Amino acid sequence: MAMGRPRAFDVDQALDKALIVFWEKGYEGASLSELTAAMGIKPPSLYAAFGNKEGLFRRALDRYEEMKGGSMDEALAAPTAREAVQRLLCHAASSQCEKGSPHGCMLVTAGLSGGEESSAIREELAQRRQAGCAKIRKRFERAKKEGDLPEDADPAALARYVTAVMNGISVQAAGGATKKELQQVADMALKALPV
């Protein structure tokens, strides 16, 4: 049996470069030529390593969540629900406009536009955002059981509210809002919490 040629590129490094292109341009906005140029490979190598553009995008999303997902878990581990939300919102405000990386959250900005051909990608992004919202809801449910939230608090509605604020911070960051402006949004949102 003939063996294929070994890969002449580092898959992780190539994936990191593709992630930046997708983060900046979204799924549809990132052309194969831009992706392969950024990755330093030819299209056949992309297909051999990732299957197709959609496969590459999904792997880039996994990589993004590996890089960024831990901050949500850390925030939700805070001793009180209020502190957890404060950490989530403050992190969103500060991390969405870091120098050296695209602004906004890739899970939000990459799904803001697209035609019918990218409906599976938009659905994937929506599911990943919903998974984050579900984690926040579970934290609020725990807080309610522990007496950290009022009896009439609705954990699901609170989670949707916090998620909507975080998504809004992302969109504003992608539109050029400063860290100070985003922190003001986070501070205003904290005032609306029932704790």
Q: Spell out the long-range contacts of 99-104 with Cβ–Cβ below 8 A and sequence spacing 24 or more.
A: 101/20, 101/23, 102/20, 102/23, 102/24, 102/174, 103/173, 103/174, 103/176, 104/170, 104/171, 104/173, 104/174
Question: What pLDDT was estimated at residue 112?
Answer: 72
Question: What pLDDT was estimated at residue 99?
Answer: 83
- For Cα atoms 178, 96, 136, give the angle at the middle one, nearest 5 degrees: 125
**Residue 3 CB coordination number (10 Å):** 5
Question: What pLDDT was estimated at residue 5?
Answer: 52
First-last CA distance in the chain: 66
d(CA 116, CA 133): 25
Superfamily of domain 11-191: Tetracycline Repressor, domain 2 (1.10.357.10)
**Residue 31 CB coordination number (10 Å):** 12
Structure token digits, residue 12: 């992780």
Q: What is the mean pLDDT of each run of 10 residues along the chain (195 residues)?
A: 59 93 91 95 92 94 88 94 96 88 88 75 91 96 95 95 96 93 95 85
- If you count DSSP H runs as helices and E runs as strands, how many of each does the chain have, helices first? 9, 0
Question: What pLDDT was estimated at residue 7?
Answer: 56
The closest alpha carbon to 129, from 178, 184, 171, belongs to: 171
pTM across the whole model: 0.87
